[in-house]
Each structure stands twice: as C-alpha cells, then as structure tokens.
Amino acid sequence: MPRRARGETRQLIIDTGVRLLLERGLRGGCDHVGMAEVLAEVQSSTGQRVTNASVYGRIWATQYEFHRDLLLAAAGFFPSGEERATQAAADQILATADLHSAQGRRTALSLFCRVGGAAHLNTMASSRAWQTWLAIWAITVSTPTLDDDIERGPAIAKRHELAVLEFSRVLAALLPRVGCRMRPPFTLEQLSMAIYALSEGLVLHHRFAPQTVVSVELPTGAGEAPETWTLFSVSLQALLDGFTELD
C-alpha cells in the first residue's frame, strides 16, 4: 500500500479522532481519545498501520498538541444535513398548501412553524455534533484567560455560521412561496440567527428542565381545531411575524 503524504495522514488521524469524540462525547476535554486508540481505529477502518514513531516528531511533537488540534477540528465540525428534517417539513407543506389565497399562505406559514419548528428542535436535540460543539464552547468560555477564545473562537464561530446559513436557505426557499419578504431593516441572516439561538436555548432547557418547556393548544389556521404547538414553534411564529411582512 503506498505511503500517505504527511498532510493526508494528519487529516486521516484528525477525522478519525473527531468521529470518536462525537461518539463518546467530551469528558472535560478530549484526553479519553488517545493517539493509540485513534491509530488502532485508523488501521481497523482503512487497513493501514500508522505507528507512533511516524506521528510524533513528524506531525505532532506531543499528545497535547494532537489534542489541541483535535478540539480545534471538532469545534469547527459541521455535518451537512442538520436542516434536512426542517426542509422536508417545508417541502411537504408547500406541496399540499393552497398558495393561491392569502389565507392559504398564512396557514402554510403557521403549519411550517408548528411542524417544521418541532422537526428543527428534535434535530438539534439529537445532534451529537451540536452537543460536542456546545461542550467545546463551554470549555472555551469557562477558562479564566482569553487564550482559548483566541485559539478556538474562529472555529466555534464558523460552525455556528454554517448552521445558521443552512437554516437560512430553508427560509429563503419558503418565504417567497408563502408571500413573505424581510421587513426592513432586517436581513434573512439576522432572522436565521435569532431562530437558531432560540432553538439552542430551548433544547438545553428541555434537557434539564423539561417541565418548563410547555406545549400549548392553538389552531394552525383560521377556523381549524386547536393542535399541539411547542413553545419553540410559537416563538418561531412570533419571530417570523416580527422580521417579515406580506409581499
């Protein structure tokens, strides 16, 4: 088997380490994902044996440096597809909605808030990548100096930026179909950021204080029977009402 270039070997080790970290979670850091385990996993998954001697001194001087780069890579990791459940809900609603009347479009938007909002919250709650990112964020902001912020801050921000961007694409496709546009001076990015931040906060509340994240019974459309709305879905409707207007 041909020998990998140094950069390729480094990336393979980092990718494998991030995968193990996502599976196991953080335990105050990433010390529980050691180089020996990562190299064993590389050999198991690729059939290629990488030795400590070919890593230390050639790619990293110490395991500390490896863990530093592993946390940095995990902080910026974004799995494409976190928005798929929300996009699927939007597609299904638009496929069956009456978009030829103002009332039909308003009902479609409310239905997206109720169903798509629940789908987004469920995706966030089950996302190991988001949970790991949040843990790294917490470790970073809890230190008494700004060294960690400087080192990992850009990667943390980039991961959040990508997540907000993916959600904004769902809204960019949905809003014109239901007759809405951004209300000046707001931007789609600001709306998506507010929605994503709200969902992150409510996911945390639901995990540790589920009794405070109530559901309410509300009609989705005019004249319809009440249905179950999550607090996030109600808040999503309020954000859309505040940030957008009829086109």
Which tens digits make up the pLDDT trace of 152-210? Answer: 999 999 999 999 999 999 999 999 999 999 999 999 999 999 999 999 999 998 888 77
Please, where are the H alpha helices in 49-187?
63-75, 84-96, 102-111, 117-126, 128-142, 147-174
Which tens digits make up the pLDDT trace of 87-111? Answer: 999 999 999 999 999 999 999 999 9
What pLDDT shows up at residue 212?
Answer: 67
Which tens digits make up the pLDDT trace of 216-238? Answer: 888 887 677 888 898 999 999 99
Q: At what angle do helices 84-96 and 102-111 cross, to 10 degrees?
A: 150
What pLDDT shows up at residue 2?
Answer: 53
Which tens digits make up the pLDDT trace of 4-60? Answer: 788 899 999 999 999 999 999 888 778 889 999 999 999 999 988 999 888 998 899
Q: Which amino acid is at 247?
A: D
What pLDDT shows up at residue 6?
Answer: 85
Cα separation of 152 and 12, whole Å? 21
Between 142 and 221, residue with greater pLDDT: 142
